[in-house]
Chain A
Amino acid sequence: MALVKFTYALKRFFPKLTDTKANGKTIPAVLQEIEANYPGVTKYVLDDQGSLRQHVNIFIDGVMIKDRTRLSDPFGENSEIYIMQALSGG
Chain B
Amino acid sequence: MESCSFEGIPVSIAYADPRNGTWWACQDHGHWGVKLQRSKDRGKSWEEVAAPAYPEGEEVKDGLPATTRYLWSMAHGGKNYISRLWIGTDPGGLFVSEDEGNSFQLVESLWKHPTRKEGWFGGGRDLPGIHSIVVDPRNEDHIHIGISCAGVFETTDAGKSWAIRNKGMSADFLPDPTVETGFDPHIVVAAPSNPDYLWQQNHCGIFRSIDAGKNWLDVSEPNGPARFGFAIAVAGDNPDQAWVAPADSDVNRTAIQSALVICRTDDGGKTWKQLRNGLPQESCFDIVYRHALVNDSNAVVFGTTTGNLFFSPDRGESWQVINNYLPMIYSVQFAD
* Closest CB in chain A relative to B190 CB, distance in Å: 31
With an 8 A cutoff between CB atoms, is B111 at the interface? no
Residues of A within 8 A of B31 (CB): 9, 53, 55-56, 85-86, 88-89
With an 8 A cutoff between CB atoms, is B237 at the interface? no
Q: Decide if B32 touches A13 in the complex (CB within 8 Å).
A: yes
Q: Decide if A47 touches B56 in the complex (CB within 8 Å).
A: no
**Which residues of A (42-90) have their CB < 8 Å from a CB of B?**
43-45, 47-51, 53, 55-56, 85-86, 88-89
With an 8 A cutoff between CB atoms, is B14 at the interface? no
With an 8 A cutoff between CB atoms, is B48 at the interface? yes
Q: Decide if A55 touches B66 in the complex (CB within 8 Å).
A: no
With an 8 A cutoff between CB atoms, is B168 at the interface? no
Q: Decide if A49 touches B30 in the complex (CB within 8 Å).
A: no
Counting contact residues on chain B (CB < 8 A from A), the size range is: 10 to 19
With an 8 A cutoff between CB atoms, is B306 at the interface? no
**Which residues of A (13-40) have their CB < 8 Å from a CB of B?**
13, 40
User: Could you mark each residue 40-56 of chain B with 1 if its beta carbon is under 8 Å from any beta carbon of chain A, else 0?
Assistant: 00000000101101101
Residues of A within 8 A of B57 (CB): 49
Q: Which of A40, A47, A51 contacts B48 (CB 8 A)?
A: A40
Residues of A within 8 A of B249 (CB): none
Interface centre among B30, B32, B56, B66 (most CB of A within 10 A): B32
* Closest CB in chain A relative to B101 CB, distance in Å: 16
With an 8 A cutoff between CB atoms, is B132 at the interface? no
Chain A interface (Cβ < 8 Å from any Cβ of B)? 9-10, 13, 40, 43-45, 47-51, 53, 55-56, 85-86, 88-89
Chain B interface (Cβ < 8 Å from any Cβ of A)? 29-33, 35, 48, 50-51, 53-54, 56-58, 65-68
